[in-house]
């Protein structure tokens, strides 16, 4: 089976290539090639911009009677993408570039124009020097002055570079780090000093408050000691309680302040600890009291609805100065004898 894509052809043994007729093609015949725009251009007909690298199906031909050092020059024909106007350009082997012929203008060729201008000035100068020796001398003096200026500028640049080369960048960095370190230490010392001052102020304030508290405690303790020394627990047995008459005469006055020992211990007539020491019994027989004993009866208060009763536990003073507690003891003995 033969191959599908055959690149070689069969030549019979009697093949004679001289018998093949030669085609006579014109020298200026054109070929259709695919190319990209070699530079930026603008169409003269419609003003459309054609950028470098845009692809075209161009016609290519060889320029007749124009060569550069035996190299042929080719011409290309393209059409504008907007108005289909024909644009032509050709190769420029002298400058290794392309030259615009007609149909468009080339953009961004400032560098090329500068080079052409320099070449033109150089050619004019050479033409002047050929016929005028004084012009040659003037040009030499100008060139020498320009060269001196260039050398001076170069020397300044060298000195500047040497000056910069002497700069110790490592030393500068170390110095900067040392400055930062000193600054941090200074800030740390300031913070510590401020913290110490704040602590001292707080300590002084606390000491003052403690002193004031101790003074108040001392005053209160001294008052309590004086009070305790002046008031004895046994004073209740000898002291007379204010009568109800004095309370009635006072009217709407406030009651006397009850002392702490009265609240804790109580009075003789109350239900406290002292009241339990005396045992009272109902008398069976009425015993006439001696005439020498004078009892003080408390008037009935107007505000109190209950009748006033004499408190047996209240001490009664006699003419002889003896206490009524002895009488109460005698009454209790007589009652016990009677019961027996």
* Among 307, 312, 308, residue whose Cα is nearest residue 281: 312
- Residue that the structure tokens 């007909």 belong to: 45
Is 46 annotated in some ligand binding site? Answer: yes
What sign does the dihedral 195-196-198-202 (CA atoms) show? positive
SS (H, E, C) the chain: CCCCCCCCCCCCCCCCHHHCCCCCCCCCCCEEEEEECCCCEEECCCCCEECCCCEEEEEEEEEEEEEECCEEEEEEEEECCCCCCEEEEEEECCCCEEEEEECEEECCCHHHHHHHHHHHHHHHHHHHHHHCHHHHHHHHHHHHHHHHHHHHHHHHHHHHHHHHHCCCHHHHHHHHHHHHHHHHHHHHHHHHHHHHHHHHHHHHHHHHHHHHHHHHHHHHHHHHHHHHHHCCCCHHHHCCCCCHHHHHHHCCCCCCCCCHHHHHHCCCCCCCCCHHHCCCCCCCCCCCCCCCCCCCCCCCCCCCCCCCCCCCCCCCECCCCCECHHHHHHHHHHHHHHHC
* Residue closest to 317 by CA, chosen among 309, 308, 329, 326: 326
CA distance 165 to 157: 12
Is 80 annotated as contributing to ligand binding?
yes
Annotated binding residues for Zn(2+), written as ranges, equal 43, 46, 80, 83
Residues tagged in the binding site annotation:
43, 46, 80, 83
């Amino acid at each position: 089976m033969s191959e599908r894509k055959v690149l070689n052809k069969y030549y019979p043994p009697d093949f004679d290539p001289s018998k093949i007729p030669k085609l006579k093609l014109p020298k200026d015949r054109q070929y259709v090639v695919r190319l990209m725009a070699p530079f930026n251009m603008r169409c003269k007909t419609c003003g459309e911009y054609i950028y470098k690298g845009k692809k075209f199906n161009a016609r290519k031909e060889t320029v007749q009677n124009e060569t550069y050092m035996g190299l042929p020059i080719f011409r290309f024909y393209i059409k504008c993408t907007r108005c289909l106007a024909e644009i032509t350009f050709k190769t420029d082997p002298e400058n290794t570039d392309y030259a615009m012929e007609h149909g468009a203008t080339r953009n961004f060729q400032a560098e090329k124009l500068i080079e052409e201008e320099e070449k033109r000035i150089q050619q004019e100068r050479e033409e002047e020097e050929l016929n005028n020796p004084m012009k040659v001398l003037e040009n030499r003096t100008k060139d020498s002055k320009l060269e001196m200026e260039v050398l001076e500028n170069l020397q300044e640049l060298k000195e500047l570079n040497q000056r910069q080369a002497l700069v110790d960048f490592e030393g500068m960095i170390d110095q900067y780090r040392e400055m930062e370190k000193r600054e941090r230490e200074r800030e740390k010392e300031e913070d510590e000093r401020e913290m110490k001052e704040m602590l001292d102020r707080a300590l002084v304030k606390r000491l003052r408050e403690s002193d004031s508290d101790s003074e108040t405690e001392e005053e209160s303790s001294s008052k309590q000691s004086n009070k305790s020394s002046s008031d004895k627990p046994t004073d209740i047995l000898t002291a007379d309680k204010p009568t109800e008459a004095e309370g009635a005469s006072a009217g709407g006055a406030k009651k006397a302040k009850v002392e702490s020992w009265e609240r804790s211990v109580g009075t003789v007539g109350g239900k406290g600890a002292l009241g339990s020491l005396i045992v009272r019994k109902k008398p069976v027989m009425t015993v006439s009291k001696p005439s020498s004993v004078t009892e003080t009866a408390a008037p009935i208060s107007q505000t109190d609805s209950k009748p006033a009763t004499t408190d047996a536990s209240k001490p009664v003073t006699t003419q002889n100065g003896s206490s009524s507690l002895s009488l109460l003891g005698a009454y209790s003995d007589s009652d016990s004898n009677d019961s027996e």
